[in-house]
Amino acid sequence: MAVLDIVRLGHPLLRTPAMEVPRNEITSESVQALIDDLILTMRNAKGVGLSAPQVEDGRQIFVYEVTENPHLPEGPVPLRVIINPMIVAQPGRLVYDWEGCSSVPGLRGLVPRHPAVRVRGLGRDGESVDFKASGLESRIVQHEYDHLNGVVFLDRMRDLRSLAYSEEFERYMAGEEGVEHAAVV
| Cα distances (angstroms) measured from residue 53 to each of 16, 57, 61, 62, 105 | 8, 5, 8, 9, 16
Q: What residue type is 159 in one-letter code? A: D
Q: Coil, helix or strand for 145?
A: helix
Helix ranges (DSSP H) in 70-163: 135-148, 153-156
23, 153, 55, 75 alpha-carbon torsion, rounded to 10°: -70
* 144 tagged catalytic: yes
Out of 127, 144, 170, 177, which one is annotated catalytic? 144
Select from 46, 5, 41, 6 the least CA-distant residue to 147: 6
Is the separation of the CB atoms in 55 and 13 below 8 Å?
A: no
Strand boundaries in the chain, DSSP class E: 49-51, 61-66, 77-89, 95-101, 104-113, 116-122, 128-134, 164-165, 183-184
Q: Any idea which residues carry the catalytic annotation?
A: 144
